[in-house]
Amino acid sequence: MIEPAPTTPLAPHLARGTLIEVVPDSATRPGHIVLRIPNTSYQLHLVPATGFATPVGTRIIGTIHARAKRVDTTGTGGRFIEPVYGRPRRIQGFVVGTDPAANTITVDTGVPVICTLTDQRQHPSQFSEGQFVGFDVMDGATFEPQA
């Protein structure tokens, strides 16, 4: 269900969503949460970075972290996370921040994602705010609730 967009401004690295499911560990997959992003159809499967005691149905704010394979600049397309339902596999959007000390870039894909660069040939200083980028995401994207 598409919900009205929230009106309270957040820092550009914080993600807002509704916790809709907590899935326990299984023989083939680690435990994860399902986070619905407001005003979109996204239901992201993310591994909780810490112990998770938030009740299902609660609106939460935190950071989404992913490990990016080679990041490429793109000239066309839109902001997205692929697939709409499931763990993030492909991301495209605008760079909204860089952190050379942490080796990360923050990408606005409709929801901000903090991405650690894993290609040794790339560094956050090679990217600038407003630049349009796309890349594949390694398995294990996480969500860390705001304290």
- Name residues of the chain where pLDDT drops below 50: 1
At residue 105, what are phi and psi to the nearest 5 degrees? Answer: -125, 145
User: Which residue, among 128, 137, 143, has the nearest Cα to 15 in the 3D structure?
Assistant: 143
Nearest CA to 96 out of 136, 130, 61, 68 is that of: 130
Q: Taking Cα atoms as reference points, which of 109, 128, 126 lies closest to residue 117?
A: 126
CA distance 124 to 128: 8
Which value, to the nearest 10 degrees, does the dihedral of the CA atoms of residues 145, 138, 111, 10 take? Answer: 40
| pLDDT score, position 73 | 95
What pTM does this model have?
0.91
Token pair belonging to 90: 């492909």
pLDDT (tens digit per residue) in 21-62: 999 888 888 889 999 998 889 999 999 987 778 899 999 999
Strands (E), the chain: 15-23, 32-36, 43-48, 59-68, 72-73, 80-82, 85-86, 90-99, 104-108, 112-117, 132-136, 142-145
For residue 2, the model assigns a pLDDT of: 53
C-alpha–C-alpha distance, residues 47 and 55, integer Å: 16
Q: Which residues contact 19 (CB under 8 A, 6 or more apart)?
A: 33, 34, 35, 54, 55, 56, 57, 58, 59, 60
